[in-house]
């Protein structure tokens, strides 16, 4: 892969860098690709119920999107429907699976076997979509040797040999944030070219490596934003009049605040600045989703 480093190219919610990624290969828009798994899931459910065909309207409802969007999405894959009838469920399952690359086997390594690593190792959705857990890895000798989901937890030292021998191209990072970049570097060095990152860290990877991230805290913060706007719009803001004042006034206020040494801080802001200063129950630092800290 290329040498030049670039900030991670993909993420979850909107998608910083989506436009830059080479991903539009064969012309399927990124937004469409992201919905294909939703359609596939809905189709799989229909298939299990032995439903032979489905209309765009029905399938769209099952997948939680609107039918025009679904038809547009499918039009990028080809004309797999029949006018006046709908789509053949089995055939569409096959086409979408193929398009997503799920007719291949994808060996995956999971690095960092804390609670989240355990949860992922046990995740049924992995195996049922062609993903196979090739190995569970951890740096903590206390964890290495134990087993999760019927697989032994192996030491980080084995990473390179496992990736090579099993042709692993996808890695999942469930370490604490402090270890994520190191782990990422080792994965990439070993030959992994797609990374799913659960650590709340921006990963830097070479060109040609895809990173997606799942960030639990961010999802909650987005909910909080909307929640705040529901509760009557002005819930209990500690907002100063100056904060909504015209430009010059605000600039002056900011300058004063700076001079005064951050007097505008509130509880949350102050705690962010010094996590050690707070006496809340959840004592772990931000993002310590898994238990152990690889070397």
Partner DNA sequence: TAGATTGTTAATCGATTAACAATC
Picked from a second copy, DNA, none, the partner binding residue 25 (CB below 5 to 8 A depending on kind) is a second copy
CA neighbor of 92 nearest in space, from 130, 48, 54, 35: 54
Looking at residues 65 to 124 of the shown chain, list those that interact with DNA (rule: CB under 7 A): 65-69, 71-72, 74-75, 79-87
Stretch that binds DNA, among 23-31, 101-109, 131-139, 170-178 (CB under 7 A): 23-31
* Contact status: 166 vs DNA (CB under 7 A): no
* Contact status: 52 vs DNA (CB under 7 A): no
Stretch that binds a second copy, among 136-144, 156-164, 180-188, 200-208 (CB under 8 A): 200-208
- Alpha carbon distance 34, 212 (integer Å): 12
Closer Cβ to a second copy, 106 or 155, answer by number? 106
Picked from DNA, a second copy, none, the partner binding residue 141 (CB below 5 to 8 A depending on kind) is none
* Contact status: 39 vs DNA (CB under 7 A): no
Interface size with DNA, residues (CB under 7 A): 36
* Contact status: 5 vs a second copy (CB under 8 A): no
Residue selected from 72, 80, 86, 190 as contacting a second copy according to rule CB under 8 A = 80
Least distance to a second copy from the beta carbon of 56, Å?
A: 15
Residue selected from 54, 59, 97, 135 as contacting a second copy according to rule CB under 8 A = 97
Closer Cβ to a second copy, 149 or 179, answer by number? 149
264: left (phi over 0), alpha (psi -120 to 50) or beta: alpha
Stretch that binds a second copy, among 112-120, 136-144, 152-160, 181-189 (CB under 8 A): 112-120
* Contact status: 132 vs a second copy (CB under 8 A): yes
* Contact status: 271 vs a second copy (CB under 8 A): yes
Residue selected from 10, 56, 95, 201 as contacting DNA according to rule CB under 7 A = 56
């Amino acid at each position: 892969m290329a040498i030049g480093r670039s900030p991670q190219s993909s993420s979850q919610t909107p998608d910083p860098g989506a436009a830059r990624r080479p991903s539009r290969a064969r012309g399927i828009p990124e937004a469409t690709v992201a919905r294909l798994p939703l359609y596939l899931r809905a189709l799989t459910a229909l298939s299990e119920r032995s439903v032979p065909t489905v209309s765009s309207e029905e399938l769209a409802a099952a997948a939680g999107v609107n039918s025009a969007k679904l038809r547009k999405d499918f039009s990028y894959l080809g004309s797999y429907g029949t006018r006046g009838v709908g789509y053949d469920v089995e055939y569409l399952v096959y086409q979408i699976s193929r398009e997503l690359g799920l007719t291949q086997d994808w060996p995956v390594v999971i690095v960092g076997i804390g609670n989240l690593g355990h949860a992922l190792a046990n995740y049924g959705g992995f195996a049922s979509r062609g993903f196979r857990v090739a190995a569970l890895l951890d740096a903590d000798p206390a964890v290495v040797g134990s087993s999760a989901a019927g697989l032994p937890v192996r030491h980080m030292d084995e990473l390179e040999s496992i990736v090579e021998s099993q042709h692993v191209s996808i890695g999942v990072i469930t370490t604490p944030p402090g270890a994520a970049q190191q782990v990422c570097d080792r994965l990439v060095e070993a030959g992994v070219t797609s990374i799913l990152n659960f650590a709340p860290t921006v990963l830097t990877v070479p060109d040609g490596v895809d990173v997606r991230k799942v960030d639990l805290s961010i999802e909650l913060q987005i909910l909080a934003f909307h929640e705040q706007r529901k509760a009557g719009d002005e819930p209990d803001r500690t907002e100063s009049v100056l904060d909504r004042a015209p430009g010059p006034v605000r600039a002056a206020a900011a300058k004063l605040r700076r001079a005064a040494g951050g007097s505008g801080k509130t509880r949350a802001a102050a705690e962010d600045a010094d996590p050690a200063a707070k006496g809340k129950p959840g004592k772990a630092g931000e993002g310590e989703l898994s238990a152990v800290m690889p070397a």
